C-alpha cells in the first residue's frame, strides 16, 4: 500500500532526483555536460533537424518561436541556445509538461516558457503571430491534421514540420504499424480534397512513455496531401529533408515551409 511518505527523497538534492520522479518515462538524453545523468536515450537535445530547419527558415536568432508539443524540451533548449528571442512551448500531456519543467530547471532555460494545454485550442482562439512555428512529431497525432495546418498558417509565415505520413505499400509492409490503420476516407476542408487514414494507438496508450495524441486514434495524411495542404494554405516554398521510408514507425520527412 502506498503512503504519502513514498513521495519523499532521502538522498542529498540532485538533478538526478528530479529526473527520477519520472523514471521510465523519459525519451530524451540530456546534452553535454549532463549526458551522464540517467533519462532517456534519444538525442533530441542535439537534433540536426532543428539546425537544418533554422538554416532554411532564416535563423531563429532574435525571433519569436511557437513550439507545438515540446515533449521534454529538447528542441526548446536548442532554440534558446541558437538565440531565439522567445520560445512559447505548448504541451497537452501533463507528464510531458512536468518533464519539461524539470528540463528547464536543470538546464537553466531563460527564454522558454512552457504552458500546459492543447495547442489546437490556442491556435483557434489566439490572434498572436510568431516568426516561426515548430511542429515536430505532432501532425500525425491529430484527428484533423489539415485543420492544424490551416490554423498554423494563420499564425506564421515560416514553419518547420516533421511528420510521419501514410503510404499504402510501405505501411502494409511494416509489422509495427500495419494493423493500426482502418479504411481511408475522402474529406474536404477549405476547398481542399484529401485522403484521411484512421490510425489506432491500440495498446500503446497503456505504455508509460506514450506521447501520442489525446484520443485513441488519429488521422494520417499521405505525403502528397501534406504538400498540397501546405501550398493550399499559402506556404509556397517547401524544402524537404530527412526523408526516411524505412522508419520503424512509418515513412517520414521534414519540411521547411515559408509563405514568402
Residue count of the chain:
260
Answer whether 0.85 is exceeded by the pTM: yes
Decide if 150 is inside a domain: yes
pLDDT at 85: 98
Decide if 224 is inside a domain: yes
pLDDT at 149: 98
- H or E element: which one contains 26? none
Decide if 5 is inside a domain: no
How does the average pLDDT of the chain come out, rounded? 95
- Band (pLDDT 50/70/90 cuts) for residue 2 is confident
Decide if 129 is inside a domain: yes
Whole domain around residue 214: which residue ranges? 14-258
CA distances from 199 to 71, 177, 178, 220 (A): 21, 9, 10, 7
Interval 163-212: pLDDT, tens: 999 999 998 889 889 899 987 999 999 999 999 999 999 878 887 778 88
pLDDT of 1 > 80? The answer is: no
Distance CA 205, CA 222 (A): 24
Decide if 113 is inside a domain: yes
Decide if 1 is inside a domain: no
Instruction: State the cell numbers at 67.
Output: 513550439
Distance CA 116, CA 93 (A): 8
Longest dimension (CA), the chain: 61
pLDDT at 150: 98
Report whether the peptide linkage leading into residue 11 is cis, meaning its omega lies within 30 degrees of zero. no
pLDDT at 136: 98
Q: To the nearest 10°, report the CA torsion of 232, 233, 239, 245.
A: -70
pLDDT at 223: 97
Question: For position 49, which CATH number holds?
Answer: 3.40.50.150
Percent of the chain past pLDDT 90, that is, above it, reads 85
Decide if 32 is inside a domain: yes
pLDDT at 204: 81
Residue 244: CB atoms within 10 Å: 13
pLDDT of 29 > 80? The answer is: yes
Domain count, the chain: 1
- Closest to 120 in 3D by CA, of 141, 139, 148, 143: 148
Interval 78-132: pLDDT, tens: 999 999 999 999 999 999 999 999 999 999 999 999 999 999 999 999 999 999 9
Distance CA 32, CA 176 (A): 33
Distance of CA 35 to the CA centre of its chain: 22
pLDDT at 176: 84
Decide if 35 is inside a domain: yes
Amino acid at each position: 500500500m502506498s503512503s504519502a511518505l513514498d513521495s519523499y527523497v532521502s538522498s542529498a538534492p540532485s538533478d538526478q532526483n528530479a529526473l527520477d520522479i519520472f523514471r521510465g518515462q523519459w525519451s530524451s538524453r540530456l546534452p553535454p555536460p549532463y549526458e551522464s545523468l540517467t533519462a532517456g536515450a534519444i538525442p533530441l537535445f542535439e537534433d540536426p533537424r532543428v539546425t537544418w530547419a533554422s538554416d532554411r527558415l532564416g535563423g531563429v536568432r532574435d525571433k519569436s518561436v511557437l513550439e507545438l508539443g515540446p515533449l521534454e524540451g529538447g528542441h526548446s533548449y536548442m532554440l534558446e541556445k541558437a538565440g531565439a528571442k522567445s520560445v512559447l512551448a505548448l504541451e497537452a500531456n501533463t507528464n510531458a509538461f512536468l518533464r519539461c519543467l524539470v528540463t528547464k530547471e536543470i538546464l537553466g532555460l531563460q527564454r522558454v516558457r512552457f504552458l500546459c494545454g492543447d495547442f489546437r485550442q490556442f491556435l483557434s482562439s489566439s490572434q498572436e503571430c510568431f516568426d516561426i512555428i515548430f511542429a515536430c512529431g505532432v501532425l500525425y497525432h491529430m484527428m484533423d491534421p489539415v485543420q492544424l495546418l490551416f490554423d498554423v498558417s494563420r499564425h506564421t509565415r515560416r514553419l518547420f514540420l516533421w511528420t510521419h505520413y501514410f503510404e499504402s505499400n510501405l505501411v502494409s509492409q511494416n509489422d509495427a504499424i500495419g494493423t493500426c490503420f482502418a479504411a481511408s476516407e475522402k474529406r474536404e476542408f477549405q476547398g481542399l480534397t484529401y485522403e484521411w487514414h484512421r490510425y489506432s494507438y491500440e495498446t500503446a496508450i497503456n505504455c508509460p512513455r506514450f506521447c501520442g495524441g489525446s484520443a485513441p486514434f488519429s488521422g494520417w495524411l499521405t505525403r502528397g496531401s501534406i504538400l498540397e495542404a501546405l501550398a493550399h494554405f499559402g506556404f509556397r516554398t517547401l524544402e524537404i529533408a530527412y526523408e526516411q521510408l524505412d522508419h520503424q514507425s512509418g515513412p517520414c520527412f521534414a519540411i521547411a515551409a515559408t509563405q514568402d
